Structure 1
Amino acid sequence: MQDFISLMGSMISCIIRMEIKKSMAEYSQTNRSDRRFRSLLESLNAGVVIHDANTQIVEFNSKALEILGLTKEQITGKTAFDPHWHFIDENHQILSVDEYPVNRVLETGKRLPATLFGICTENCTSVTWVSVSGSPIKNPDGAVEEILISFIDITKRIETQKNLRESEERFRMIFESLPKLSVQGYNKDREVIYWNKASEEIYGYSKEQALGRKLEELIIPDNLKEDVIRDVSNWMDHGLKIPSSELELKRADGTPLPVFSNHIMLETPEGERELYCIDIDLTNLKLTEEKLRENEERYRSIIAVSNTGAWEYNLENEYLWTSPEYFTMLGYSPDDFNYDFETGISVWQQLMHPEDRDSASRRFLDYLSGEMKDPYENYFRMVHRDGSTRWIWSRGQNLKNPDGSPTKIVLGTHIDITKSKNAEEELKQREAYLSSLLKTIPDLTFVLSRDGTYLDYHADESNLLLSPQQFLGKKVSDVMPQEIANLQMEAIEQAISGRKLVEFRYSIPEEDEIHHYNVRVVAFGLERVIAMITDITDSVRNLNQIKELLKKEEEQNLRLVNFTHIVSHNLRTHTANMLGLISLTEMETPEVFEHEYLRLIKESSSHLEETISHLNQVLDINLEMGENMTEIRLKPVLDAIIQNLALQAKRSGVTIRNEIPDDLHVRAVPAYLDSILLNMLTNAIKFRSDQRDSYVRIYQKITGSEVVLSFEDNGLGIDLDRHGSKLFGMYKTFHGKKDSKGLGLFISRYQVEAMGGRIEVSSKPGVGTTFHIYLPL
């Protein structure tokens, strides 16, 4: 604006100077009167005042009088020092006389470019704003004779500019104060020129961080950058407006931000276009919409899963609306009936079971004709598409007005309770079955409450020690000895709390004999139990007899074991003596062993000693059966055995793969476990195949309370059809190896079984063998 004022003032001053010079020249040349000069001054749209060298006004035009609000008499002869008027600057500060335009030109002798001044009277209650230009008029000697002051009235323009600034400031304050309305301004290069408080809060950039940065660098996601740059350029350059729309922009931390974005294009006085974006944060709205969608989906899922149909009845027009689930629970769709609101009641009655149609319709109509204070509820049957019957639980409630009065709308649901009805019928049949079953049980059966009260019984009267009158309705502590009553109450509580079968035993003297009873207690409902009492006196007596027999058998076994040890010791002693004598004879007279019979005697003696040693091993396994069972971490044991066999395996070209996990534990006798693992691995190495690269793979599998250790090889294999029944026999060999004695598998099986396990085998000749050893965890 100031530049515009300066430009206009300079142009007017220049025109006036030129015309005055021209007129003066013509005047001097033509010696005409100043009438032409006066006419020129009057024709100008600017005020003109001419001062002499003493600043006294010597000439003026009518526009000057109009702008200054003076008459000819008031202005003629006035000087710049007149105290009745003042010049003020654009900040409303009164200027000193030296700063008046005429004095500035007079003092400097130079032209005064267009400058903004305010002119007012003494109290400055009213100000006229003018753009003032001044020029000195000099004589041929260069001295200033007169000063030409021209000015134009720009008061309205100044007021308009002031109002515009105030309006702009008001809007700026509004934009700054809006808490959820983000307003940003961008120049033609998409650089931020305005960023309000809401923008700081919503997008996470402070005003200082945002100003000067490009739109696409701040809030535009990568997938939208090209489109945004194109759209802004099209609007700036071609006037193609960007429509308002929902967008997903981004915050300073990179998180997405849903907004509704409006766009406005403004143009500055200089003709520069500015884009303003007004964004509304939709985060809460989106969250609310998402919750609504989730709730709607949840309710739809509940209805679908629960096999529930919704309905709405309008009493005013007798329309019945039903949800799709109303039909799908019966195997239909609404399209199967040309269904609409008007036919709703007839379709409902059509699907009704014939035996329930009249009663169900009558109950519904009775509800509608009443006050409808209580909820509507009814049970009836409907017919499924496949012809089966479905039990329906129908419930409804009249929709109320805000004042509590009934409307003409009833809302309700249809719930398929066929399973519940079937379960209810099945429960009745089961109760009848259990009642019949109880009558067939010979044991005493009592029904007791949680507090130990006898509620019912079933028994042959001859089995009862007391009459029913002596225990029915009474507590266990009133009928039974205290010790037995305590056991019974503990069993009742455990059965109800744990929902499990609880057993206990008690003994009681009857007719000079101790009788023994076993009691089984099981929960019957939430607060009752059934107690079945079995007389086990005969069983206890027989068990005691069996214990006596077992004791005698153990004593006989002990004597047999001692006998076996004696025989084994004596045989081993005599065999050792025999072998010693043979060795001494061989040392003293070796030539006698050239006789075939003596060689055979020596070999037979050696075999006899070996057989006695093997029998002792088997005997030791049987004697130690079940002893020294400990929990063993398997992998370290197996690694140690593999390490000991490493050289043998390497020379034989056999690779051993241990796939047992580190945390696997088994219960075993340590010595037996070592023996079994060693036998499995040495057999796999010994009976390898020379036709291929040999391996032994050791792996495991958990089955219930057992672990299965598998030893898989690709060796010679065994023909199980021929040798399967003899595989674990003593001294049984199958491959003709000279160093095979047929004892390893026999001992391994005994050791596995002694630890409560078993051993199985699968094999195919020429393919390989897998031994599966089952051990307790």
Structure 2
Amino acid sequence: MLLIAGEGELLYVNKALEELAGKPRATLLQEGVSAVFPFSGGGFPSIATAFGADGTFSDTLSLLHPVEGGIPVKVNARTFFGPGGQAVASVYLKDLRPSLEAQEKIVGQQETLKVALTDLQQVLENSVDMICTFDLDGNLLHINKICEKILGYSSEELVGRHYREFIHPEDITSTQGDTQELQQTQVTYHFRNRYLHKNGSMVYLSWTSSLVKEAGKVYCIARDITSMIPAEEIRLENESRLQALLQEGFEMIAVIDEKGVFKFVSGSVKNVLGYAPEELVGMDAFTQVHPDDVAHLLEQHRQVLNGQNLLFSPFRCKNRRGAWRWLESRAVNCFHNPTINGIIVNSRDVTERLQTQRQLERSEKMYKSLFDFNPDVAYSLDTNGRFTSVNKVAVELMQMPEEEILNRHFNEFAQLDYVEHNERQFQRVLRGEAITTESSLLNANQEEVFYTFTEIPILIDGEVVGVHGLAKDITHVKRQQLLLEETAKRLNNILESIKDAFFTLDQEWRFTYVNPEFEKTMKARKEDLVGRKITEVYDPAIFEPFYRQFQRAVGKRAPIHFEEYSTYLNSWLSVTVYPSEEGFSVYVKGINSRKRAEAELKKLSLVASKTVNSVYITDEEARIEWVNDGFTRLTGYTLEEVVGRKPGDFLASPATRANVFSIREKLAIEKPFVQEVENMSKSGEVYWSKLDVTPILDEHSGGAKKFIVIETEITGQKKAEEERVRLTDELLRRNRHLEQFTYIVSHNLRSPVANVLGLTSLLMGTEDREMQLTVTDKLRHTAKGLDTIIRDLNDLLSLQGGLLEAREKISLPEIVEQALLSLPNESYQHVTIDLNGIQEIISVRSFMNSILSNLLTNAVKYRSLERPLDIKVTARLEEASNLLCLSVSDNGLGINLEKEEKNLFGLYKRFHFHVAGRGLGLYLVKMQAEALGGAVNVQSKPGVGSTFNVFVNVAES
């Protein structure tokens, strides 16, 4: 922009003019307008002449540039008058070079466009696709010539007509829907519909459409895909099937990468695990696997990565509900296929199959257990009746190896009497029946075995393919049954032959059986009685006492016995009634003879009641029926206290109870006998009695029915006899001691005394000093041995003297402690004392001291050098016999009892010679134990140790 005054004087230029003219502002102001517009005649026209009547000017001029030359510019100017009345022109310049360049470019582009339009026209006219335009109402505006080839119509026949005229009627609705979608999106791709060819055939077209609202047109390209439709329909059908398999199948197809991450999961995963495919894609497949199965599955995954195609063993996978399902998968390495680039894994849910398989295995095991361990015989047969399997019980029943049974016909083992029966039953099973019956066979030992068996058909698809059987050995039961039948026959024979009357009645009191004796006694016949009520045959007025007792037995449901006089028979009867579920049985016996005997017994009882001795009467079972006053005075029991009781149950002392059975055996012989017994009165006092037992025989039957016992007290006599026996035993014992004493005197003293006499004579007959010293030394040794013998004699005399010592209460713990104190120090390592709480005993103190001292001293003397000595002292009291057992055990050298037992407690008997001893200790222990009313025994094993058990009587004598 610039301001011009007068004849071209520049009043103002802006920065843009400086740049456009290529000169600074000062130069331009100095040179004036001619420096910018160098025109002839003075440059820029004068204001007065150049501007129009309206004071404006517009033209295209050339602006002078010092380097580029003339620059075309557009000039727009107008005049106005300044404050002094001076005319001024305001000029605006615009550089026309960009416009000229753009114009030239547009011209070039127009030429290019003409060429492109020509080429496009060629493409449109020669395209194999149908190219057309529609107005917004669907009328065809333009279409290329290919339409005639595709639809059979020329472009002239189509232009101006609506597309609905040519579309298959079934596709009009979908085409209108695509048109509506095009209004919203401006572009649609690959829309398909069917057009009707001019010849009436169908043409399949695929459309791509674009809406240009400004132009009010729709540009479309349609491709004829008719030839592709059959193949595409096949492809679509296959794809549909594949999609159905992927979506609806029960086998999951997945693709995982080398790390086990899901890249693809088929829709069937919903049927397998309950997930939607998108929930698993991108997830690590191994996170869904049960922790116990991961390691094994990772190893199999590694093998697939190395190129192996594997069928994975079943593993557990978590479904969407959190439950574990068993899957079986097959994996194929497809990293070589770029389309897949992963591992294809086909998986199916085998949970039910595994459960069924395990249930089947369990059922098979249960069947096998039921078969093998069945307590009865179990077997299987084929349809020919041959054994196909047998269990151990069958082998044991047949008593032959399994291989000798298999493949043989069942009737090969049968008893001949049962062959036809067995075959008939087997045919029933082959017809589909289950049977249970009884049979018999011969085992390997040719022994007859009875059994019951149940056989059932094995049915598969309604056809019998075999037979299962169970058999139970009933040989014992069968023999029992035969025995019962035989017994029943014998019982019937017995009932028929017994001498007493017997009959049975049912619940309505009708006769079911009468024996011959009843017929004889009642003068009736069995045929006339059986089936009739007893009250109809025998008048209730006469037999009322009997019927009343019958009713009482039925009411109590327990056997009863009663005695009643029958006016009908003029006889005393003993009647026993036995009720049962079927009715009751009645046993009737005449007892006139017994009643007479009882009358006689009453007379005898009157006599016995006045005698001093104890007298009592028992029944045939030894139960007391009557006692006299002498019995009460002797035993302290009254008649009321003992009636119905057996004497041996309350009178026998502990010593006699063992003999009660032998006494009762003598009662069964039914002959008189005499027996001495030790009894105990009611107050607990023990006394001796002599029993004179006499059976009272029933003359009518010959059987013993009562026993009369006369009891005489003989306590004084027994004590005298016991004292006599004791004194005899004591004399015998003293005699044995005297024999031992005599033996020592005669054998052990004679030799040293003779030696003393000889050595003394020798000493007196020599003056040799050395000889005298030698003889003197031998005299000293002989005298020492003689002293030992005298001491032994003193011990024996002391043993005799001890018998005279009175028994007294002594402390057993004190005796044990004193004996232990006598042992050398450090002679033993450990002592265990267990006296079972026994404190005081009644015995001879010196003997008890000697016994314990000798046993403990021996334990120390004969201890083992290989181990420390352990000693155990125990005591227990046998209250029944008043014997104290005192035991001393050690772990010393021990004794060979097989060799030395006979001489173990002999005088001067020794069994170890590495230590000093005289062989007197055990002899004294034995003699002292016997003197105390006891004995001694020993258990010993060489190298292990010994236990000496000393029994002594600790009761007051």
Higher relative contact order (CA 8 A, sep 6+): 1
TM-score scaled by length of structure 2: 0.38
Larger Rg: 2
Q: Normalising by structure 1, what TM-score?
A: 0.44
